[in-house]
Amino acid sequence: MGSRADRPYAVHMNSKPGQSGTGDAAGSVRVDLAERSYDVLVGPALLSRVGGLARSRCRAGAARAFIVIDDNIPAAMVERAAAALEGAGFRTSRAAVRASESGKSLETVQKLLVSFAATRHERWDPVIALGGGIVGDVTGFAAGIYRRGVPFIQCPTTLLSMVDASVGGKTGANLEVDGALKKNLVGVFHQPIGVLADLDTLGSLPDRELRAGLAECVKHAMISADFGDPGLWRWTLDHAEALLARDPARLTELVVRNVGVKARVVAGDEREETEGGGRALLNLGHTFGHAIEPMAHLSPDGDPRHAPLLHGEAVALGLVAACATAESIGSSPPGLRGEVESLLARLGLPTRVAGLPADEVTLTAIAHDKKVMSGRLRLVLPRGIGRAEVVAAPPEAAVRTGLSAIRRA
């Protein structure tokens, strides 16, 4: 682990409003990346802070702000952000994006770039992403390449984007190759200048989307011991039902602690360059998950009306497959897979899926994953509670065991 990752990282939970430099945010996490450092604020009513954040982090003279909006979020949320930006002296423009994996495309990025140019958006003017991970990823990508990079603020409105996608500067789009959608095949690293995780925005988020976000939280808990929060696994087990019931205090702590894990991982390995660990560990469950996510007929409960799988649901299945693979090669303690499956089930997430194609089909999809290096598969596998490792070239039989573990007959 890099030296930065060994330093204590700044995570604050405010018991009293106004207690820290975060004003009245319930919590904050510093993402420590030298001159690209920024804060993630967590709490209610934070959208009204976006103007002040943009004003304080953008160069004097920045005059315009462009808001990219998820077309599913309530209009009141958009107005709150726009009013805050206008109150801070920005002229605002907006564009809505449909949040779908097929729409997470270069075509959408191109449309955004043209819209920025049409409003004469300048080099120091901020772009604001107001939506889930899809809007955050395409907006960040467009902001990262427009005029070789303009300031970018993340205002995540899904649990998944609050705890994961909005933090760390990975942006991108999917690419269709030979008729198949390849996830996140193009993109740039472009860190935001700030993240506002306004918990009020979760009020309109469907329960299924909330559960999908909880899958990434389980993933974080499964690596948290190596990234400064060894108690996160136990805490998540203890509060599963309260989280599903959207208990505000528990949700706040969940977001702050999960962002803390992600921030620490990113601070230690911003560009995923650490051999055998670092940021690559965040891909726990994702190699299997990415392989099955584009299989449009799969659904979390076998009901075709609920197809396709959401990203978080595919990750939940991927976590189970990773546990079974690790168990098969003897690298994780017995019982871990059962504990993970039971937590995922309590959180209403799938642990088996009906309609999985023949292993050869999924193995081919896995072989095309970005994490394959020089033709050798590299899988992130758990090695105990709160710990994971990168395993190079795992035996094919073990990977097949992973697939069998999630196959529902």
Ligand X SMILES: NC(=O)c1ccc[n+]([C@@H]2O[C@H](COP(=O)([O-])OP(=O)(O)OC[C@H]3O[C@@H](n4cnc5c(N)ncnc54)[C@H](O)[C@@H]3O)[C@@H](O)[C@H]2O)c1
Segment (H or E) for 391: strand 387-392
Q: Which tokens sit at 16?
A: 């009293």
**14 belongs to the catalytic site:** no
CB count, 10 Å around CB of 274? 18
The site map against ligand X for 17-56 (x = CB under 6 A) is ----------------------------------------
User: 104 in helix, strand or coil?
Assistant: coil
Q: Does 132 bind ligand X (CB under 6 A)?
A: yes
Nearest to ligand X by Cβ — which residue?
A: 133
Q: Applying CB under 6 A, which of residues 170, 219, 257, 337 lies at the interface with ligand X?
A: 170
Residue 204 found at the interface with ligand X (CB under 6 A): yes
CB closer to ligand X, 39 vs 293: 293
- Torsion angle, alpha carbons of 350, 355, 361, 364, to 10: -10
Spatial separation of the C-alpha atoms in residues 165 and 173, rounded to whole Å: 13
Of the residues 139, 154, 157, 191, which one makes contact with ligand X according to CB under 6 A: 157
Among residues 12, 104, 279, 378, the one that binds ligand X under rule CB under 6 A: 104
| Other beta carbons less than 10 A from residue 42's beta carbon | 32
279 is catalytic: yes
Rounded Cα distance, 344 and 80, in Å: 35
Among residues 250, 279, 337, 378, the one annotated as catalytic is: 279
* Range in contact with ligand X (rule: CB under 6 A) among 16-24, 47-55, 197-205, 330-338: 197-205
Nearer to ligand X, 111 or 400 (CB): 111
Q: Report CA-CA distances (Å) from 281 to 15, 228, 290.
A: 32, 14, 15
- Produce one character per residue of 222-251: b if its CB has 16 or more CB atoms within 10 Å, e if not: bbbbbbbbeebbebbeebbeebbeeeeebb
205 touches ligand X by CB under 6 A = yes
- Does position 144 interact with ligand X (CB under 6 A)? The reply is no
The residue from 12, 311, 337, 378 that contacts ligand X (CB under 6 A) is 311
Assess 81 for contact with ligand X (CB under 6 A).
Answer: no
* 139 near ligand X, rule: CB under 6 A: no
Which pair of structure tokens corresponds to residue 230?
A: 């060894």
311 is catalytic: yes
Nearer to ligand X, 126 or 294 (CB): 294
Is 7 known to be catalytic?
no
Q: Which of 92, 108, 184, 325 binds ligand X (CB under 6 A)?
A: 184
**73 near ligand X, judged by CB under 6 A:** yes
- Annotated catalytic, 272? yes
* Nearest distance in Å: CB 187, ligand X: 8
- Residue (245 or 392) nearer to ligand X, CB: 245
Q: Of 11, 12, 309, 311, nearest to 132 (Cα)?
A: 311
Of residues 164 and 327, the one with the C-beta less far from ligand X: 164
Q: Which of 29, 41, 54, 99 binds ligand X (CB under 6 A)?
A: 99
CA terminus-to-terminus distance, the chain? 42
Q: Does 266 bind ligand X (CB under 6 A)?
A: no
* Exposed/middle/buried for residue 333 (C-beta within 10 Å: 0-12, 13-18, 19+): middle
Strands of 261-328, DSSP E: none
Residue 368 is a catalytic residue: no
- Is residue 209 a contact residue for ligand X (CB under 6 A)? yes
Provide the 10 A C-beta neighbour count for residue 7: 13
In order, the DSSP letters of 224-264 are GGGGT-TTHHHHHHHTHHHHHTT-HHHHHHHHHHHHHHHHH
Verify binding: residue 308, ligand X, rule CB under 6 A.
no
Q: Which residues pair with 378 in a beta bridge?
A: 392
Cβ pair 243, 251 in contact under 8 A:
yes
CB nearer ligand X, residue 73 or residue 405: 73
Catalytic (active site) residue 220: no
Active-site residue flag, 208: no
- In the residue annotation, 371 being an active-site residue is answered as no
**Interface with ligand X includes 318 (CB under 6 A)?**
no
Active-site amino acid positions: 148, 170, 216, 262, 272, 279, 283, 286, 290, 311
Binding footprint of ligand X on the chain (CB under 6 A): 70, 72-73, 99, 101, 104, 131-135, 137, 157-158, 160-161, 164-165, 168, 170, 183-184, 201, 204-205, 209, 212, 311-312
